Amino acid sequence: MSQAICTLKKGEGRTIKGGGAWIFDNEIASIVGSFTNGDIVIVRDFDGYPMGKGFINQNSKIRIRMMTRRADQEIDDAFLRQRVKHAWEYRKTTVDTSSCRVIFGEADFLPGLVIDKYEDVLVVECLALGMEQFKHKIVEILKALLLEEGIRIRGVYERSDANERVKEGLPKHKGFLGEEFDTNVEIVENGVHYMVDVVNGQKTGFFLDQKYNRLAMQRICKGKRVLDCFTHMGTFALNAGIAGAREVTGLDISQYAVDQATENARRNHLEDIVKFRCANVLDELPRLAQAGEQYDVVILDPPAFTKSREATKNAIKGYREINMKGLKLVKDGGYLASCSCSHFMTQELLEKTIKEAARSTHKRLRQVEFRTQAPDHPILWAADESYYLKFFIFQVVEEK
């Protein structure tokens, strides 16, 4: 079957020429041949030079997502198996694979697809129309690869309910891929036990990307009084508790999250040390400061304040405000962990914003370390969108 041929405008295609995966609508000069949205098309440069193959969607500003740099490559079962095998081999080399992200979209050269493994359960998120035709096959390939290593997957659940689906012209979808199963999964990470609800939890059920950042906080929190803001399932708080913190408080605006976190504390026999309460962090931090509360460690892990470039200005104000409020609660010589999970809040912007917050609160910061997302969420240097998590640990000292 002949495939449509997409030709780029002269001077365009800088992203894919640099190793990225996206071609935008305004970069295309012509498309010759018939196609349906989601089909694989051949991509050529303005002079006819072959650039590879990708799937097209005229509903999206990201018009083509590249699957391969070889224009003669067949996108068949053998090709998909190679992609999945390479992704799994990489995880086995770089992370604890008991629970991890196995497929990370463009960074694993399978654009628009995320697959997380929670012990013996897989959770799939498909965000691109063209990947819909491959997701079932990829899941079956992955299950077969895992079974070869003695890992039997008991169930697969799809969490394709993100807003990005709408931009692709796709409906949001949640449901079982295959037979139904108990969707509450107990996992162990850094020695902490959690019950993950893959149906109702955030994203695919749990934030795996902070795994080693949580581990890094364990050595900071031993014997300390800790405040964990935006605690969600209590992850940083429980890592502090299991490391031997003296007292830990976790705050979250969601009562559902607080209930889950409290249950996780009991699961780890930490309920006497690690406690949670439902509160709006932005309101609660000034109240704590007014009451004279001080902590050895304050952890700020807010949700993304911006998911678009246009909203970055307001996001900067939000990050500055939360860091100012957090800094006021850190004892002299104590520690602040501060992060952003927004791709548009770059490392440089976050550094500048935290520096302004420190200046405004008359605090001096000594950087302990800077971290990013866990290696199972690899950062593809040619794809800026794959780099989103920035995580700083500082010692906070008074200006003297």
Helix residue ranges per DSSP H, the chain: 14-17, 77-94, 129-148, 164-167, 211-221, 235-242, 255-267, 281-290, 312-327, 347-360
Task: Give the separation between CA 13 and CA 306, rounded to whole angstroms.
Answer: 27
Q: Pull the structure tokens for residue 105.
A: 């979209």
Phi-psi category of residue 181: left, alpha or beta, with phi > 0 → left and psi -120 to 50 → alpha: beta
CB 396 within 8 A of CB 378: no
300 Cβ contact list (under 8 Å, min separation 6): 229, 230, 322, 323, 326, 336, 337, 338, 339
105 within 8 A of 111, measured Cβ to Cβ: yes
Active site residue 229: no
Phi and psi dihedrals of 305, rounded to 5?
-80, -10
The catalytic position among 126, 221, 339, 341 is 341
Please state, in angstroms and rounded to a whole number, the distance separating the CA atoms of residues 129 and 352.
38
Positions annotated as catalytic residues are 341
